[in-house]
Structure 1
């Protein structure tokens, strides 16, 4: 076989939901989208016609955005009464197993809404003895099982059968240990590092981590306009090409290298500022960034739009809310918000909901 046309294979199915609206009429739409996406890894902001980026935008994720990595933590520690009372039931706690692969490893997370989610291999699940259900994406003979425990439930306290059963299984049946990424949005007047201090006092190695931040300026770039001539998917495609540093100047695109076409009606932009953070970000910090971008959008009129792109972890047990994360074809879970002074467009991407045949 010579020169197989591999590029004509259809891409894996995914769900893309686009929505447009007016901020005054649907104020909570964008914040609601942000708050449903619990585990955030990469954040990118694009600001056309901007040279000097306002400090509140940069500081939103550069200041007070430390998170922690704890080594070899026993999951039973996460359901102890002391841990639940101090961190799960106070503020918002986000915990995610690090360097685990959802298709072949056991994984764990604690969501900001207080759910412990265990994504387990069949052998681990049978040995553990807790009630769960086969993965939605498993075949006829399940290889993965999901166990969900509401840590904030009124009956999940010492002395209740449910709580005692969970603790006994985690302590006696299987010793589940993970390296964990931890971020805690603490109540007022309590230091967020208290969670790291607690685990350190329990004998675990804990390291503080800071997000990695990069910024750059680009000049003389064709930028599409929000409107009838450019669909939301064309905007997302342009944003992806720009983020990958595709040369989009007039006459520079070659059919040999790419078939991408700049959307009709694109206008030349003198300069574009782009910011990117990589780390482990809570929904509360992203809401702060969004509010800073909204304020900037209302103060500046000579730009086509502002974009906020957020990408989740490919191997998190859940993607949106408590929705189970697909692991067969891809790990897509991301969203993009385009905003102007009054209008917005959101595009959220999820892995396919289809069960494998």
Structure 2
């Protein structure tokens, strides 16, 4: 068998959204970065890159200390429409769930958005036996092999025919049971005397562990703590690209794509030296020689509030480290999540990539770099 000429294969095409500007603190509702972060609900990894700093600021080092999530194994989806669960966790606070280690292109996948929408991404066989109304996936229109069903949990009214029908359909054996990664953000207390101020995020784990104990198979449902994995490393002797929105005479700046690519190489500890003949890397534009760069990774399940808190801490660090050329943050979503930004259906024919990066310099000039699948079938 002849080996294929892999060097002729075209790289997967993505939709790239670049936005540049200056942070306007007087108009928080028009903040491009914050609005972008809040539209991406399911985040698997956060990486920050801090060039030319002596140490990672304590605020950044501990910002995600309480970001552990839970894994609920072998749960029936009818548990998500139970009245106590909807009243206690869907209508109060923000509940996130995503199916664990399921493949979007070949298996049934599930998410629950913080807005209270249950999204099912189902194979044709499962959908046809389920009995719920949905639509064909935009990536499977020719073969009708995948279907999407959305259920607004907040509007379900118990003791109605519609509610009973949904509950019955979600309990069908053809749908089976799922392993769900979950996390819950309690409702914000209006004042210190509010009883909700004492609610712990782990209450959702206690609910599933206790409320499901009365099922026919109580030993089948298990709740596990999933700690956030943290990794820190340092790169030495670097010449990083400059980032500025104002062009200066005699200076040349690299493109946005080159800057994000360089950040990725630092995050992966790649060798950026130009002397290597077989495996070299170069970018256009001027460079700034620095001593080192600190890189910190968090891997787990992060809500929009977690990512936003990292971004706010990054801005705080930038005010204290005004000598740095820039600071960067990279956030990667779940490749097999049914949705990516907003309620947009996730692309799965190539890599399911849905991620974004943020770069900010001491002048509070920013770069927002968003990467998603191109929503087109491969030829």
Q: Normalising to structure 2: TM-score of the pair?
A: 0.88
Note the residue ranges of structure 1 that are not aligned, 5 or more in a row.
none
How far is the alpha carbon of 1:79 from its aligned partner? 0.8
**2:157 alignment partner in structure 1:** 157
Match of 1:326 among 340, 347, 352: 347
**1:146 alignment partner in structure 2:** 148
1:196 corresponds to 2:205: yes
**1:206 alignment partner in structure 2:** 223
**2:52 alignment partner in structure 1:** 49
1:33 corresponds to 2:50: no
Distance 1:51 1:37, change over 3 A: same
User: Equivalent residue of 1:60, what SS?
Assistant: coil
**2:137 alignment partner in structure 1:** 135
**1:114 alignment partner in structure 2:** 116
Aligned equivalents of 2:9, 2:172: Cα separation in 1: 49
How far is the alpha carbon of 1:175 from its aligned partner? 4.7
Deviations 1:53-79, CA, capped at 9 Å, x for gaps: 111111111x21110001101000001
Aligned equivalents of 1:216, 1:130: Cα separation in 2: 49
How far is the alpha carbon of 1:289 from its aligned partner? 0.8
**1:336 alignment partner in structure 2:** 357
Q: Which moved more, 1:104-113 or 1:23-32?
A: 23-32
Deviations 1:195-233, CA, capped at 9 Å, x for gaps: 111111113210111111011122211100003521111
Distance 1:173 1:233, change over 3 A: same
Tell me if structure 2 keeps the 8 A contact 1:138–1:356: no
User: Equivalent residue of 2:315, what SS?
Assistant: helix
How far is the alpha carbon of 1:171 from its aligned partner? 2.6
Deviations 1:44-100, CA, capped at 9 Å, x for gaps: 000011121111111111x21110001101000001111111111111111011011
Tell me if structure 2 keeps the 8 A contact 1:133–1:145: yes
Aligned equivalents of 1:127, 1:4: Cα separation in 2: 41
Note the residue ranges of structure 2 that are not aligned, 5 or more in a row.
188-196, 214-220, 248-252
Aligned equivalents of 2:154, 2:348: Cα separation in 1: 28
**1:20 alignment partner in structure 2:** 20
How far is the alpha carbon of 1:192 from its aligned partner? 0.7
How far is the alpha carbon of 1:162 from its aligned partner? 3.0
How far is the alpha carbon of 1:172 from its aligned partner? 4.7
1:237 corresponds to 2:257: no
Tell me if structure 2 keeps the 8 A contact 1:333–1:351: yes
**1:226 alignment partner in structure 2:** 243
Aligned equivalents of 2:73, 2:302: Cα separation in 1: 19
How far is the alpha carbon of 1:326 from its aligned partner? 1.3
Q: Normalising to structure 1: TM-score of the pair?
A: 0.94
Tell me if structure 1 keeps the 8 A contact 2:137–2:144: yes
**1:345 alignment partner in structure 2:** 367
* Matching of residues 72-87 of structure 1 within 5 Å: 72-87=74-89
Aligned equivalents of 2:178, 2:294: Cα separation in 1: 38
Aligned equivalents of 2:81, 2:356: Cα separation in 1: 32
Aligned equivalents of 1:269, 1:115: Cα separation in 2: 47
How far is the alpha carbon of 1:356 from its aligned partner? 5.1
Deviations 1:292-328, CA, capped at 9 Å, x for gaps: 1011112221111100100011111111111111111
